[in-house]
Amino acid sequence: SSEVHLVARPEGEPEPSDFALVETTVPDPGPDEVLVRNDWISVDPYMRGRMNDAESYVPPFELDEAMTGGAVGTVVESNLDGVPAGTTVRHFLGWREHALLGKGRFEVVDASIAPPQAYLGVLGLTGLTAYAGLKRIAPVGEGEVVFVSGAAGAVGSTAAVLAKCLGASRVIGSAGGPEKTGRIVEEFEYDAAVDYKKGDVEGQLRAAAPDGIDVYFDNVGGDHLRAALAVLRTDGRIAMCGAISQYNATEPVPGPDNLFLAVGKRLTLRGFIAGDHGDLAPEYTRLAAKLLREGRLRSEETVVEGIGNAVDAFLGLLRGANTGKMLVRL
């Protein structure tokens, strides 16, 4: 059985040599434990932060230990009543082929709603992230105009549909390159797209939203946040979800030079961590299941095969190799 260790803390962009694939023996489950063969593991941008030795809302990964993260797998041996072999579960011991889990360390997933891996994406934390941001953090009002950065990614690919369900009349997304900007309009219900790789995010955003925007869902930070501050209308809201343009920065990154616009425009900027909004999960899951049935929400995935390619999947994610959720199938 293999697992992926962090062996060096990356400086700037992570390198393959910062990681090692390590062989271990398959463990035996103890009393009240299950042994799970992971079928899918999740790679996510926040994991870059856990590779630094810095205080944050999640502790850093330990060096020379298997990393952790979201995973979905099948119980292969069980010493737990009510959880027979064959049960599909979601848990947090990703980055490895086999996981030993005690009671309370996993949830059984309902594979009748969507394929099991959807519980790492559209029916998991990434879907809830988009919903919490648009419903609670920067609530979308009826007829409002919404801008989402990172629009072709896991969170972004669900955000436009959810914004429309919450009342948005127009949703603009930004992504890198013509293929992704094409897909967000054709497949993910965005009304217009900004290709940030062409530059002048503010000019492109103004052209797509001539009367301004009311809500900005920020996955990227940097020039996108600056552009949104410039184009937001009075009483606008920003859900500060992520800032992937600066996760590999080696020096502190200055904030937008137009932040003072927040005063005159009476803006609300609010950061959030999706895990704190688990109380929204039941209503979100009901809505997402309905939208999946209707074919409006899609379980969009980019799949990389094998634990030996998990590091490549993670490095690719940071460079935009994915559309929708980046997953590793084991």
Q: Please, which residues bridge with residue 108 across strands?
A: 89
Based on the shown chain and the rule CB under 6 A, indicate whether residue 162 belongs to the binding site for ligand NDP.
Answer: no
242 forms part of the interface with ligand NDP (CB under 6 A): yes
* Contact call for residue 173 and ligand NDP (CB under 6 A): no
Per-residue string for binding with ligand NDP, 38-57, x by CB under 6 A?
------xxx-----------
SS3 81: coil
User: Which residues sit opposite 126 in a β-bridge?
Assistant: none
Instruction: Please pick, from the candidates 10, 115, 167, 176, the single residue that binds ligand NDP as defined by CB under 6 A.
Output: 176
175 is a site residue for ligand NDP (CB under 6 A): yes
Applying the rule CB under 6 A, the residues between 87 and 116 that interact with ligand NDP are: none
Which residues, 6+ apart, have CB-to-CB distance to 224 below 8 Å? 149, 174, 196, 201, 218, 245
Per-residue binding string, ligand NDP, 198-237, x by CB under 6 A, is ---------------------xx-----------------
Q: Does 146 bind ligand NDP (CB under 6 A)?
A: no
Residue from 129, 204, 285, 299 in contact with ligand NDP (CB under 6 A):
129
153 binds ligand NDP (CB under 6 A): yes
Minimum distance of ligand NDP from residue 113's CB (angstroms): 21
With CA atoms as reference, report the closest residue to 149 among 211, 212, 238, 230: 238
SS3 content of the chain, % helix, strand, coil (to 5): 30, 25, 40
**Secondary structure (H, E, C), 86-110:** CCEEEECECCECEEEEECCCEEECC
- Contact mark string toward ligand NDP, 4..43, x via CB under 6 A: ----------------------------------------
Q: What angle do CA 122, 227, 249 make, to 5 degrees?
A: 70
Please give the Cα distance from 97 to 267 (Å, whole number).
Answer: 46
Residues that bind ligand NDP (rule: CB under 6 A) add up to a total of: 29
Compute the least distance from the CB of residue 197 to ligand NDP, in Å.
7
Write down the least CB distance from residue 323 to ligand NDP, Å.
7
Mind giving me the DSSP string for 24-80?
-PPPPP-TTEEEEEEEEEE--THHHHHTSSS--SSPPPPTTSB--B-EEEEEEEE-S
CB of 180 to ligand NDP, least distance (A): 5
Handedness of CA 89, 311, 300, 165 (dihedral sign): positive
Q: Identify which of residues 87 and 322 has a Cβ nearer to ligand NDP in the complex.
A: 322
Q: Is 121 in the site for ligand NDP (CB under 6 A)?
A: no
In our burial notation (b when 16+ CB lie closer than 10 A, e otherwise), range 228-265 reads bbbbbbeebbbbbbbbbbebeeeeeeeebeeeebbeeb
C-beta of 108 vs 249, nearer to ligand NDP:
249
Structural contact between residues 53 and 60, judged by C-beta atoms closer than 8 angstroms: yes
Q: Looking at beta carbons only, is 60 or 176 nearer to ligand NDP?
A: 176
Residue 152 makes contact with ligand NDP by CB under 6 A: yes
Question: Which residues of the shown chain bind ligand NDP in the complex (CB under 6 A)?
Answer: 44-46, 126, 129, 150, 152-156, 175-176, 180, 196, 219-220, 241-242, 244-245, 272-274, 317-318, 320, 322, 326
